[in-house]
Amino acid sequence: MLNYLVSFSTWAESNSGQIQILIGILALSLAIFGYRQIIEQIKIAKKQEDRADEQRKFELKIQSLNKLTKITNHAKKFF
């Protein structure tokens, strides 16, 4: 068992530069993947916010029309 650890240690020492490059490439790949996921989530959140704004505008229009109708009906009573 100790012989395998010594062999692995020797191999790792002789190839440490290549191992570091592979780890760096893997880390960069994961960072790019994470960045793309974040951008996608931001786009989804923006769409949801835009839809909520449109819905709120519609609700405000309905409320305005309801108040205008009440005012009109109230004014008809006096004339």
Note the pTM of the prediction, 2 decimals. 0.62
Residue 19 near residue 12 (C-beta atoms within 8 A): yes
Query: What are the tokens at 9?
Result: 């240690």
In a domain, 67, yes or no: yes
Over its C-alpha atoms, the chain yields an Rg (Å, rounded) of 33
In a domain, 2, yes or no: no
Higher local confidence (pLDDT), 10 or 38 = 38
Residue ranges in 1-79 assigned as alpha helix (H): 2-14, 16-78
In a domain, 21, yes or no: yes
**How many domains, the chain?**
1
In a domain, 7, yes or no: no
Per-residue pLDDT averaged across 62-76, rounded? 91
Question: What is the percentage of the chain residues whose pLDDT exceeds 90?
Answer: 75
Task: Give the residue numbers spanning the domain of 34.
Answer: 17-78
In a domain, 6, yes or no: no
Residue 76 has pLDDT above 90, yes or no: no
User: What's residue 30's pLDDT?
Assistant: 98
Query: What are the tokens at 3?
Result: 């012989």
